[in-house]
Amino acid sequence: MGISTSSLRLLGAGFALWLGSGAALAADVTVTAFGGSWEQAFRRCYAEPHTARTGQSVEVIIGGPPQWISQIAANPAKPPIDVLVNLMDTANTAIRDGLVEPLDPAKIPNLVKVPDRFKEPLKGFGTVINYGAAGLAYNSKTVSEPPKSWKDFFQGAIDGDYVAALPGINLSSTTPTALLWNIVNLYGANIDDADALFAELKKLKDSGNVVFYNDINQFLTLIQSGEADIGPYWDGRAWLAHDGTIPDLQFAYPQEGGVISPSVIQKVKNGSENGWAFIDTLLAAENQSCFAQAIGYAVVNQDVTYDGKLKERVPDIDAIRWPDFAGVAERMPQWIDRWNREIGQ
C-alpha cells in the first residue's frame, strides 16, 4: 500500500518537531536550584547572564539535594547534572560518595575572589556561594520585645510567654542545624549525647506551647494566622516577608549568634566541562550582587558591597555560628528515628 504525499508531509513535520524538542532538552549545561523566589533570582542573576556571556544554554532543575544526589549516583558515568547547588551536609555526602570533583582554580578565575573561609569547609570540593543565618522571626504585635538569647527563647516557650513555631523533622534545610545542633551547642552537650538533646526537646513539646512546621513557608502561615508568635527562621526569607505581605514580621539574631546556612556549589564528576564556565559566571561580582539584592542573602565574592536595607540586614560573618555539618549529617538517621518515636511531629 502506498503512502500519500500528505502523509509523508505529516510524518516529516512530526519528525522535525521531535528533533526540535530533543534539541531543546539538550542544554549545554544542567544545574540545580532551590525553588520559589530563590529559583527566580538564580535564573535572572546567573543562568541568563551565563548564556549572554558564553552562548551556552542552561537547564535549571528544581528540587532538593537528596533527590539530585540520587540522580547523579544512579548514573555516575554519565550524570544528568553538571553543576550541583547543594547544602553543606549533603555536599559532604556528595564528596564522600565520590560524585563531585575538586574545583580547578585555573578553570574558575573568579574563585580567587572567594575568601578561604568559604572554601575550606568543603576541602576543595566546592565553595559556599551565599549564606543566611537562622535567628528569631516574630510577630511584633504579640511579641513586643524578642528574647535576647536562644536560651531565653526556648525557656519562654516552656513558660508559656508565647507560642513558638519550631521546625519539624521533615524540614531538612532547617531542623538539623537551626534546632537540633543549636540545642546541643547552646546547652553544652556532646553531639553524641542524644539523651540531653531529646530531654530539651521533650520539655518544649510537653509545655503545650509549641507547634511544628514542616514546610519553610508554613512558618509564615502560622504567624499570619496567629497560631504562633515566634520561632527560628532564616533572615533573608523573614525580611522578604516583612517587605512583602507581612509587615508585622520582625527578625533578630539572639546574642549567642545566628546559625549559618550556606548554599554551596560543586562540579559533578563526569559532568559537562561547560560546568566550569557556569561556576565562574555565578561567582562574578556583578552576578553575585544581583542575587544578593534579589533574595536578601549575603554572597561570597569579596568585591560585592551591600546598599540600603540589605547592608543593615546581612549577618556579620564573624558573629554567626558554624555547625558541625559533617557531624550532624552522620547523626541525623539516629536523631530522625528517635524524633519519630518520642516527638512525632
Encode the chain (345 residues) as per-residue pLDDT tens digits: 444 444 434 344 444 444 343 434 579 999 999 988 899 999 999 999 999 999 999 999 999 898 999 999 999 999 999 999 999 989 999 999 999 999 999 999 999 999 999 999 999 999 999 999 999 999 999 999 999 999 999 999 999 999 999 999 999 889 999 999 999 999 998 999 999 999 999 999 999 999 999 998 999 999 999 999 999 999 999 999 999 999 999 999 999 999 999 999 999 999 999 999 999 999 999 999 999 999 899 999 999 999 999 999 999 999 999 999 989 989 999 999 999 999 987
Residues 302 and 328 in one domain: no
Residues 244 and 205 in one domain: yes
Residues 216 and 335 in one domain: yes
Residues 180 and 87 in one domain: no
Helix spans in 55-193 (H): 65-74, 88-96, 150-159, 182-186
Cα 291 to Cα 323: distance, rounded to the nearest angstrom: 24
pLDDT, residue 25, reads: 55
Residues 338 and 208 in one domain: yes
Beta strands in 164-234 (DSSP E): 164-167, 210-213, 230-234
Is position 93 within any domain?
Answer: yes
Residues 151 and 244 in one domain: yes
Residues 255 and 266 in one domain: no
**CATH code of residue 102:** 3.40.190.10
Residues 119 and 137 in one domain: no
Is position 207 within any domain?
Answer: yes
Is position 243 within any domain?
Answer: yes
Q: Which positions ≥6 away from 167 have C-beta within 8 Å?
A: 174, 175, 178, 179, 212, 213, 214, 219, 231, 232
C-alpha cell of residue 182? 543549636
pLDDT, residue 326, reads: 87
Cα 277 to Cα 36: distance, rounded to the nearest angstrom: 25
Is position 70 within any domain?
Answer: yes
Q: How many residues does the chain have?
A: 345
Q: Quote the number of domains for the chain.
A: 2
Is position 8 within any domain?
Answer: no
Query: Which residues pair with residue 61 across a beta bridge?
Result: 32
Is position 1 within any domain?
Answer: no
C-alpha cell of residue 70? 540520587
Query: What range does the domain containing 125 cover?
Result: 29-131+261-313
Residues 40 and 138 in one domain: no
Is position 56 within any domain?
Answer: yes
Residues 150 and 236 in one domain: yes
Q: Which helix (H) or strand (E) holds 83?
A: strand 83-87
Q: Sort 76 into a burial class: Cβ within 10 Å, 0-12 / 13-18 / 19+.
A: middle
Angle at 118 between CA 110 and CA 287, to 5 degrees: 40
Residues 337 and 230 in one domain: yes
Is position 319 within any domain?
Answer: no
